[in-house]
Structure 1
Amino acid sequence: MSRVISVVIFGLMGAAFLSALGVWQLQRLAWKESVLAEIADRIEAAPVDLPEQVDPAADRYLPVVVEGRFEGDAVRVLVSVQGSGPGYRVISAFEAEGRRVMVDRGFVSESVDLPEAPQGTVTVIGNLHWPNEVDGFTPEADLDRNIWYARDVGALATQLQTEPVFIVARELSATDAPLTPLPVTADGIPNNHLGYAIQWFGLALVWLGMTAFLLWRITRRSV
Structure 2
Amino acid sequence: MRRYLFPLVIGICGAAVLISLGLWQLRRLEWKEAYLAEIEARIGGTPAALATTFDPETDRFQPVAVAGRFTGDQLRVLSGVKGIGPGHRMIAGFETDTGRRILIDRGFLPQQAPGGTPPEGAVQVTGNLHWPREADEFTPDPDLKADLWFARDVPAMAAHLGTEPVLIVARQVSGDNGDVLPQPVDTSGIPNDHLEYALTWFGLTIVWLGMTALLMWRIRRKTV
What range is the shorter-chain TM-score in?
over 0.9
Q: Which residue of 1 aligns with 2:103?
A: 102
Q: For 1:11 and 1:61, how far apart are their aligned partners in 2?
A: 47
Asked if structure 1 preserves the Cα contact closer than 8 Å seen for 2:109 and 2:181, the reply is yes
Matches of 1:194 and 1:30, distance apart in 2: 10
Q: Deviations over 1:125-161 (max 9, x none)?
A: 0000000001111000012222100000011001111
Match of 1:49 in 2: 49
Instruction: Report what 1:18 is aligned to.
Output: 18
Alpha-carbon distance between aligned partners in 1 of 2:115 and 2:185, rounded to the nearest angstrom: 22
Separation of aligned partners in 1, 2:116 and 2:128: 22
Other structure's SS at 1:49 match: coil
Paired position in structure 2 for 1:207 = 208
Deviation at 1:73, TM superposition (A): 2.4
Structure 2 unaligned residues grouped into runs of 5+: none
Distance of 1:10 and 1:150 partners within structure 2: 48
Alignment: residue pair count: 223
Q: What do residues 19-73 of structure 1 show as CA deviations (whole Å, max 9, x unaligned)?
A: 1110110010000000000001001101000001122122111000000000022
Q: Which residue of 1 aligns with 2:196?
A: 195
User: Residue type matched to 1:49 in 2?
Assistant: A
- 2:135 alignment partner AA: V
Per the normalisation by structure 1, the TM-score is 0.97
Distance in 2 separating the partners of 1:118 and 1:200: 53
**In the alignment, does 2:179 pair up with 1:158?**
no
- SS of the aligned residue for 1:206 comes to helix
Secondary structure of the residue aligned to 1:175 is coil
Does residue 71 (structure 1) correspond to residue 65 (structure 2)? The answer is: no
- 1:83 aligned partner, one-letter code: G
Per-residue deviation, residues 110-134 of structure 1 (Å, max 9, x unmatched): 1224421111110000000000001
What is the CA distance between 1:9 and its match in structure 2? Answer: 2.1
Any gaps of 5 or more consecutive residues in structure 1? none
Instruction: Give the whole-Å Cα distance in 2 for the aligned partners of 1:20 and 1:115.
Output: 53
Q: Which amino acid aligns with 1:84?
A: I
Q: Secondary structure at the match of 2:24?
A: helix
Partner of 2:141: 140
What is the alpha-carbon root mean square deviation over aligned residues? 1.0
Specify the alignment match of 2:62 in structure 1.
62
Q: Which amino acid aligns with 1:95?
A: E
Q: 1-side partners of 2:54 and 2:217: how far apart?
A: 66
1:12: Cα distance to partner? 1.3
The answer for the alignment partner of 1:185 in structure 2 is 186
TM-aligned CA deviation for residue 185 of structure 1: 0.3
The worse-fitting range, judged by mean Cα deviation, of 162-171 and 141-150 is 141-150
User: In structure 2, what is the equivalent of residue 38 of structure 1?
Assistant: 38
* TM-score, normalised relative to structure 2: 0.97
Aligned to 1:178, the other structure's residue is in SS state: coil
Q: Please say if residues 114 and 179 of structure 2, whose CA atoms lie closer than 8 Å, have aligned partners that are also in contact.
A: no
Distance 1:171 1:106 in 2: 10
Give runs of aligned pairs for residues 119-130 of structure 1, distance below 5 A. 119-130=120-131
Percent identity, aligned pairs only? Answer: 53
Note the 1:84-95 alignment, pairs <5 A: 84-95=84-95
Deviating beyond 4 angstroms after TM superposition, the runs of 4 or more aligned structure 1 residues are none
Which residue does 2:168 correspond to in 1? 167
